Structure formats: structure tokens, C-alpha cells
Chain A
Amino acid sequence: MTLKKLRVVFSIIVLLLFAFIFIFGTDKTTHLSETLTALQVMPATLKLMAGAGAAAIGLGIILLLTLLFGRVYCSFMCPLGTLQDIFIFLKYKSKRKFFRREKNYRLLRYAALTATALLSGFGVMTAAALLDPYSNFGRVFTSIVKPAWVWLHNSNAQLFHLKPLTQQNIPLDVAAYSAAILVLLGAFSYFRGRIFCNTLCPVGGLLGLISRYSFFKIKINREKCDSCAKCMAVCKAGCIDLKSGTVDNERCVACFNCIEACDSRDMSFGIPVKVTLPDPSRRQAVKTISMLFGSALIYFSSARKVFANIYPVKKKNPIILPPGAQSLSNYRKYCTGCQLCVAYCPTKVLKPSLFEDGYKAVLQPKLDYPAYYCLYECNTCSQVCPTHAIRPLRQADKKLVKIGTAKFIKENCIVYEKNVECVSCNEYCPTKAAAMVPYKGDLLIPQVKENLCIGCGACEKACPSKPHKAIYVEGLKIQGTADKPKGGQKRKKFGIMKEFPF
């Protein structure tokens, strides 16, 4: 097996595994997600920054491999890289099947890397979220591929007696943004190969720096080379310079296409003789970056609903974070918006937003109340989060994590308005924080026991008051711990029944 074939097979397997977890992931496949994302540079780095020492293992493996073999990560492990390779494969099958030599774009590359590193260091995830290849891949799959799959599945579910799936909860702007990214990435990779990886990708920038010093490099045997340029034509990184007979190892993504294409096998992967670095081009850099960012800014502002009612629900803090996020500042610091939690969330209460909550929160998911609520027994998002933006929680602990507090507006309540029983909120409440207290006659009315409330939002979803809810959840900037609900008060009345009471 040649190196190229090994690369193709390996990268396809990795891509399929990623596609699998994003499309079919359930609480049974969290270990697979953990393993896969542990070997992704950006999530592993953030996880390490968040204090998870174990993340150093995955990161160490990748960095060591890069030091040995160059940017093999980009061609073997990166799901976005392999996604681009699909478009590049189409190019190879087309009529104009050659890539041209690219300029270095060093300035742009370093600028993207520096900006990402600095901003992330200061706890602002905007650059990391927009540029991280893994997160971009995740968004394409969660907001385009998975919804398409669910639609296809559900439209044929009846025919094949399949169980319908719950559709993703993706706002239009996020879907449009992800689609734009996919189109741009497809176009750029078709015409310019791995140009994203060598300009805007911060992971490419970082690994490029290391691979300058890597042990194994692609080299050209200049004595035998007849300058046929077949290697240049297949080089999707555009990093081969035949005039000087050198390969720019900083930009080489180690795809090994050149070795395969070389007639006289005058190219080899080995210890190099010499490395040269061409000059960067500023103009090209500015052009590329403005094009990419310009398209990224396509923004459909979500319509804000205006109510005429006199008791509208005005949330002071509508941002409700998944349990395990710990605090708004922790979450903002580590989430790159890869949407793995969104893909896994069984109730689809997790929903990404684009610019709704400011640039620091770009593409970071939050809980979408009252569209659905956070399921009491579920801790899946905390199990799959690859960056520790959502810290792992055991199920028993998750049940006590307080992500918000329910508030009751008596004037909106059906019991107050119509003098009839309702009690929907109490019915759905998993901790009975939405308690019922005597009201008029034998009527009961809700009263929130804030010490028991975990802010799951079940009451808000269940409340049938229209158009405004009588009970809603205020988010917490710092998540807390609720008291454990007590049961068993009436249990002792129920002895063993000797005879039926009728």
C-alpha cells in the first residue's frame, strides 16, 4: 500500500466515524465521540486550558506526529480536511485537473493563528469558533447534513415502518451560515485546493510552524527530476516549487499525492536536505480574508416577537446554558460552537445562535425554552463536549445542577384567570419545585420553591397559558446546586392491603 492509499483509506474512515457521531450519535456512542474529539487539535487544546490534564495525551500524540511526519493531521485526522478532499477529488476527475502553485500567504496565516491564540487566551472564542476546522465541520453536519437526513428518514419512515426521528432545532441564520461556509469551502477547495488550511485555519498555521522542523519531509531528487511538473499539478497545497526544486513543508499537508504522481519516483518522503520559504503576498492575503469574512457575515436577523398582552414574559436573563457549563464566563471561554452537543441532544432543546448574544457568543448553543426543556435524567451534552465548555457530569449530579430559576406570574395563570384547576407545570416538574399551594376553596395554585428548582424549563413548556406563559425560567450566570427533592411523606400510609376496600 502506498502512502497516498493509506492516507485515503484512513481519512475516509475518520470522516465516516465523524459523520456517524454527528448523525447517529446517541447516549450509547459518547465514548466514540470522546475518543475522536480527543484527537482534534482545537478541542483538545481548549480542554487542556480548561484544566483537563488527560487532554494532553491526544494533543501530545498529534504534536509528536507532526514533529515526526509534518502535517499528517491535516490529511489523516481533520474531518474538514477530508471534506475538502472530496471537492478536490472531483477536480481531479474534471477536465482542468491541475492545481497551480500558491503563494505562501504567511502573513495571513500567522495573523489568523495569532488572533485565535490571543483572543482565546483572553477568553473570547469568536476567532476560534469561526476558524476551527473541526467546529466548522460539526456545524455543516449538524445544521445541514443531519437535518437533511432526518427529513429523508421521516418522509420514508411510514413506508419502511421506521421510528421517526426528532428534527434538529437549528435557526435559519445558523443553517444559512453553515451552508455558505460549505459552498465557499467547496468552491475554494475545488479551484485552489487546501487554500483554507494554509491561510485561515489556525490549526494549519500551528502545525505548519512545527512541521518546518519535522523529521520527515517530502524532498525532490533534483539530479533525476526532469521537471515534468506532474507533482505540482496534483499538489492541492500548491507548495511545490520546481524552479528551486523545493517543497514548502510548512504548507504541505502530507497528502502524498506528489509521490504517487511522480513518473520517475524522484520524490520521496524522507529526511530533507534543505528548506526554503518563499515570500508572503500581502495583497492576496487581504483579498482572501475579506472574501471569507464577507460571506461569513451573511446574517438573517431573527424576528423579535412583539406581544400586545399586558403581562408579557420579560426575561432578565434569557440565556440558559447547558448543565455543566458552570458559568457564563467559563462557557464563553471554551465553546467553539462545534455543535456536537446539539447533534446529540435528544430533546433538541439545545440550539445554536449566530450573533444574537454578541460576538463572544458566536455559534455557541444555549437552551431554547419554551420550545422544549432539558430532560431531567439526561447528561449527554456534558459527556460529549470536546472542550470542557460543558464539564462532564454524572447523572446523579446533573439532576441537582441549577441552571436557572422558575418565576411565576400569577396574573397569567389559568387558575387565577378562570378559577379552574390546571397544574400542568406541577405535573411536568421533575423536582416538584413547581409546588401547588391552596388558593380559593379546593383550588390550588403554583408556587415556586426556588431551592428545589433546577431551571430545566419543563414548567415553561407545559404551561398552557396563551399568549404568555404564567411560569418561565430565568437563566443563571453562575450555575448552582439545588436541594435534593424529598419523597416518601405519604408512603407510610400505604400498608399491605389485606382486603380490597370495596
Chain B
Amino acid sequence: MHRREFIKKSVAMAATAAAATTLGSVKKLMAAPAAGTPALVAVKGAAPGKMYKSAINALGGIKTFVKPNQIVVVKPNIGWNVEPEYAANTNPELVKEIVKSCLDAGAKKVYVFDHTCDQWQKSYKTSGIENAVKEAGGVISPGNEPRLYQAVKVPGGKALKDAAVHELILSSDVFINVPVLKSHGSTKLTIGMKNLMGIVRDRGWWHANNLHQCIADFAAFRRPDLTIVDAYRVMTDNGPRGVGSGEDIAPMQSLIATRDIVAADAAAAKIFGIEPEEIKYIKYAAEKNLGAMDLNTINIKKISL
């Protein structure tokens, strides 16, 4: 990314953030674009690609999110050197379908990356995501090199005031967050907001400085235009990496799609059988008015295939 472009985008983002605070509520900004369109779509009972298609149609089609010639960045979870059937990473079939639909909508380029935990070249390959992205015509991009990150301020952060964010997040027009629903040792669950730890450089600092608050703070920085939660196979225990066996994997065949990252995490937590309030980062994010934790307040469309 060029410096000028970066400055422009930073200013634009800062302005958006400022506008958001003056308006008082972020909720108003992310109201559904057309009347009657649901705020959240929950799908179950089919293959990941098929569930994505019906979810995105219910949200008004991918064209309401991606305009021709825009640059799209897709951020799945590619944290671990683990095969797709063990569900430590986002389902590659889902990622493939998302990349393909963005390109069909006229996107100029679709980038996919993650700041992986295990060695990144291995993780990209073993997760099946590198291959899926290439087959779909997207660009799989590195996420582990420090030089790819740029320092930013986090507006209104309580624990996290600044971070270094991957340049693709700063330079892309559309940001699609594609987490996988998993059990997690420290946060009980890892879903959408937790997945954003893969777009910053030093997440060790978050662990050392009140992890839940950091996750909630960072959700205010760059809201994904779309969050799609993969709950096709769900790691019910021993997450986030799993212990290399299929014993913990439950075939839940579900998917959640929404513009509201907090609602996405709340709905996914419920599917997992945990109340959203029990997950501290969801609670903190809701307290910061970053989205709807109470699912009764939003318009949800449920689809069974």
C-alpha cells in the first residue's frame, strides 16, 4: 500500500469513527441497507458452500457488499497446521465459495490471509485454504511478516489503545471476516471478534494485558463488512488447536452471516450452548455498543436446507 493511500484511508477511517461517536450509537450506522432484509441469517443442514449461498442471498446478495472493481480481503482462521476435517481452521470449501462469489460480483482482487499461529506456509497448505483460494481465483497472501503491519490507533480502547494492523485490512474496500466456531481454553469460545486477532502483529501483548477487553476494544477499529461464522464442523473441546483426533468434532452443519460481528458471536455462542453474556469479550463489546448481544432485538432469518 502506498503511503498516500494509507494516510487517506486512515483519515477516512478516523472520520468515520468520529462520526460514529457523535451519532451516539454505532447500531444506527450498521442498520440493514434495505427494509425487510434480516440483520442476521442462520442456516443449517447443508454443505458449507450451499449454506453460504442461501445466506448471502437472504442478505440481499453479494452485490450489496461488493461493488465492481473493489478490492476485497477475506480473513478466515488459518491458525494451525491441521487438516480440514479436524476443524481447527475455517472450512476451505466455504472460503472458496466466498472468494468465487466476490469475483463474480466484479471484485478487482480478492485477498486471503491470516497471521497464523503455527508455521504459516505449512498452515496455509494443510488447512486446504491455500488451494481453495487459488482454485477460486483469489490471492493467498502472507500474514506473518512484521513489515506487513502498520501502526494504528484504536478508538475508545480501554485496554488496547493502539495496534499494528495488516496492510490489506487498511487498504481493502471490503473486509469479510470468516471465523470458525471452536472451543477455546482462555475465552471459552473463539468466533468472530477473536478471529480479528489474526490481523494484528503482536497478539501476545493482548494475552498479557486483559485479553477479553483487548478483543472487545479492537472490534471498534475496523468493523468487518460481513462476518460469516463457519459452524459446519465444530470443535467441542480441546480448542483452539484440537488434539489431532476427530473425537471432539461435532458435525453441526450450520452457518451464520451478518454485518454485526457482536450478533454473529452471540448467535454462534448460543449454537454452542453457551449464553453470550458468559463470554466476556462479547459482553464488553455489547457494553461498548458495538453490536447486538441480545438476539431478540434484531431481525433474524432462519433457514433449514
Taking Cβ atoms with an 8 Å cutoff, the residues of A that contact B are 161, 163-166, 346-347, 372, 375-378, 399, 414, 418, 420-424, 426-432, 436, 444, 462, 464-466, 485-491, 493-494, 497, 499-502
Cβ of B156 under 8 Å from chain A = no
**With A377-B81, A485-B238, A490-B237 known to touch, is A414 a contact of B244 (CB < 8 Å)?**
no
Q: Select the residue from A347, A432, A497 with max chain B CB neighbours within 10 A.
A: A497
Is B252 within 8 A of A494, CB to CB?
Answer: yes
Contacts of B205 in A (CB 8 A): 464
Main secondary structure of the interface of A (DSSP, over half): loop
- A-B contacts counted at CB < 8 A amount to 137
Contacts of B250 in A (CB 8 A): 491, 494
Additional pairs, 6, CB under 8 Å, beyond known A164-B145, A166-B119, A430-B244? A347-B122, A377-B81, A422-B211, A464-B204, A490-B236, A497-B44
Interface size class of B (residues with CB under 8 A): 35 or more
The 3 closest A-B pairs by CB, nearest first: A423-B186, A488-B247, A487-B247
Is A493 within 8 A of B273, CB to CB?
Answer: yes
Q: Select the residue from A377, A378, A427, A466 with max chain B CB neighbours within 10 A.
A: A427
- For the complex, give the distance between the alpha carbons of A498 and B42 in Å: 13
Cβ of B11 under 8 Å from chain A = no
Main secondary structure of the interface of B (DSSP, over half): mixed
**With A164-B142, A420-B209 known to touch, is A431 a contact of B240 (CB < 8 Å)?**
no
- For the complex, give the distance between the alpha carbons of A465 and B204 in Å: 9
Taking Cβ atoms with an 8 Å cutoff, the residues of B that contact A are 42, 44, 81-82, 117-119, 121-122, 126, 139-140, 142, 145, 183-187, 204-205, 207-212, 234, 236-238, 240-250, 252, 254, 267, 270-271, 273, 295, 300, 302
A178 vs chain B, min Cβ distance (A): 25
Partner of B244, one of A376, A436, A497, A500: A376
Is B236 within 8 A of A491, CB to CB?
Answer: yes
B207 vs chain A, min Cβ distance (A): 5
Is A377 within 8 A of B208, CB to CB?
Answer: no
Contacts of A418 in B (CB 8 A): 208-210
Contacts of A423 in B (CB 8 A): 185-186, 207, 211
- For the complex, give the distance between the alpha carbons of A192 and B253 in Å: 72
- For the complex, give the distance between the alpha carbons of A125 and B60 in Å: 70
**With A490-B183, A497-B254, A500-B44 known to touch, is A430 a contact of B241 (CB < 8 Å)?**
yes
Contacts of B187 in A (CB 8 A): 421
Which chain B residue shows the least CB distance to A161? B139
Is B121 within 8 A of A166, CB to CB?
Answer: yes
